[in-house]
Amino acid sequence: RGDDKVTILLELLTAGSDLGAKVAQFSDEVDAEMLGLLQQRVETARAYGDAGVLARLEDLYRVLKLEYQRNQASPAMRLLDDVLEILGDGEVESAGGGGFGAGTSTSAGSAADEALAEEYYSRRRAATACMRKAFSGGVDAGVDIFAAAAALAEAGPLAAQELSVEYVRLHEFVGETTELLDEAKARQADLARAIARAQRETAYEARQQQAASDGGAGSKAELAERLQQLELARMAYADRQRSISQLDEVLFMAKALDEPGS
């Protein structure tokens, strides 16, 4: 069994641009044992100081760890992962949410805004379609499920694998996503309080240094470092806020699918 894992790892390491397809092919084989084998190779490469090999191994480890976590997640959380992947990193969302044309009056700017808007709504439509398919088990409303099953059987196992959709109950998806969102908002509130406290402390220290005639270089360097950490915390807050906004949007779209005529 371990030899099989090693063979798969070698195939993944040489997959190049086909890595995504290969990971999907061997998804069921990605487990704690495989991650352990790969971690051993990472440590060996680090010990020998082979930067090129180490970078490739670490990149593959990150990819496989995400796949392992996805495999361990619930169907609802796997669907959420798919939907967030479709929506992207949130930058297009923020543009589509009413920020078009801000500070831009040229025709070139308008064209760029329209392109962003179209991409935003295109991603929303794709994400909604992904959820609708999962909530219906891959069968669209009005489809003859017996005819569809017969056609799928005739197409063979490969088509079955490509066309199969993991069924997710809508209420479970909404419940788990809401729980995740509530936790994220609670952590965001904690971070906001920590940032506010740090701002007050650094502002006080800055005033103290200005008032003191003998402020040493050490204390100034320490204050500069704390200000840098504060800026990093602000950036993390902004990133998390985009993620929270995306979760809010996903919940809105999912709940809309539960309405009559959706």
- The verdict on pTM exceeding 0.85 is no
Q: 15: Cβ–Cβ under 8 A, 6 or more apart, which residues? A: 21, 22
Cα 248 from Cα 93, distance rounded (Å): 12
Buried b (16+ CB within 10 A) or exposed e, 170-191: beebbebbeeebeebeeebeeb
Give the pLDDT mean for 38-66: 93
Q: Give me the percent of the chain exceeding a pLDDT of 70.
A: 78
Contacting residues for 201 by C-beta, under 8 A, at least 6 apart: 226
* pLDDT tens digits, 152-167: 555 554 444 445 678 9
Quick check: 198 and 230 in contact, CB under 8 A?
Answer: yes
pLDDT of residue 154: 58
Q: How confident is the model at residue 172 (pLDDT cuts 50, 70, 90)?
A: very high
